[in-house]
Amino acid sequence: NTKSHLVFYDVCTLDLEDFNDEYGKVFEDEYVLGIGCGDKYLKKGPALFDKKGFYDKSCLVISTSRRIYSESFLGLKRVGEPLEIEKENNVIKKINGENASEYYLRLFQTYENDSVSDIYQVGIKYPFGFIDEDRELIVRVPVDSSEEGFRFIGEYKTGNRGYVLQYDKDRAMTDLDELLKYFRIKEKIEVPVIAYCYGRYIENKDNFSVSELKKIFEYFPKINFGFLSHGEIIRSKHRKYKMQNYSVILSNIEV
């Protein structure tokens, strides 16, 4: 009878063992359902996790260090029930006897009318929302107002226009209003949300892929989407790629 909820986090930098140590309750006696985006991901179906790590990694790019790397979309949801998995060529085809894609879609459709979902994003939770006056975008930013200093950078780009949200980790935030006054805020809101996590390690600095967003819309036509975007490519002196993380949740984007 426990109600499941969506769980999102920074898939590009999170060490699963560290995550479980800090947020073990998220995975405790639970399964977590996730999916990747893009043609190859949607064909493969959902990925499953348990509290000890990866239950199935058909949708993800996994490194030997147990850090989680995803090329694009990843949404996770607590299932709260044991799962019977049927595979074909190492691809999940059925979950508890139901078509895997239909099972996944049914779970996420339960959030169509929900006002808010739990978000776990690098130790920051309790999201709030606001509307950008220029574009009237609905935005939710993962913020814990009890934190006295953290780094938040968010950016949404379309064409030549960009929207940047930034809060310096070296400046203590003692009041949420201190952050809000830096933006043109109409009102705080709550919106249903599914995560869109995007970042590439190759020299591609596009933070959003409209074509992949459209695939998500088409795959889940009845869901009112929100998106969690993150990842900015930074090249180091040694030509190794590092991910500078930022997060911003956007909902009701026209693409």
Residue 76 is predicted with a pLDDT of 40
Question: Residue 62 corresponds to which tokens in the numbers above?
Answer: 């996994």
Please enumerate, as own/partner, the contacts of 160-164 that have beta carbons within 8 Å and a separation of 24 or more: 163/132, 163/135, 163/137
Q: Is the pLDDT of residue 190 over 60?
A: no
Selected residue with higher pLDDT from 179 and 98: 98
Contact 176, 145 (CB under 8 A): yes
Selected residue with higher pLDDT from 181 and 119: 181
Stretch 9-38: mean pLDDT: 37
Question: Which residues, at least 6 apart from 18, have a Cβ–Cβ distance to it below 8 Å?
Answer: none
Where helices occur in the chain by DSSP H, the ranges are: 16-27, 39-44, 100-109, 176-180, 210-219
pLDDT in tens, 86-139: 777 655 677 778 876 666 555 544 433 332 232 222 222 223 333 333 333 333
* Tally of CB atoms within 10 A around 112: 11
Contact 193, 226 (CB under 8 A): yes
User: Which residue, 150, 155, 107, 108, is CA-closest to 125?
Assistant: 150
Helices (H) and strands (E) in the chain, counts: 5, 18
| Burial class of 248 by CB neighbour count within 10 A (0 to 12, 13 to 18, 19+) | buried
**Per-domain boundaries in the chain:** 6-109
Residue 98 is predicted with a pLDDT of 81
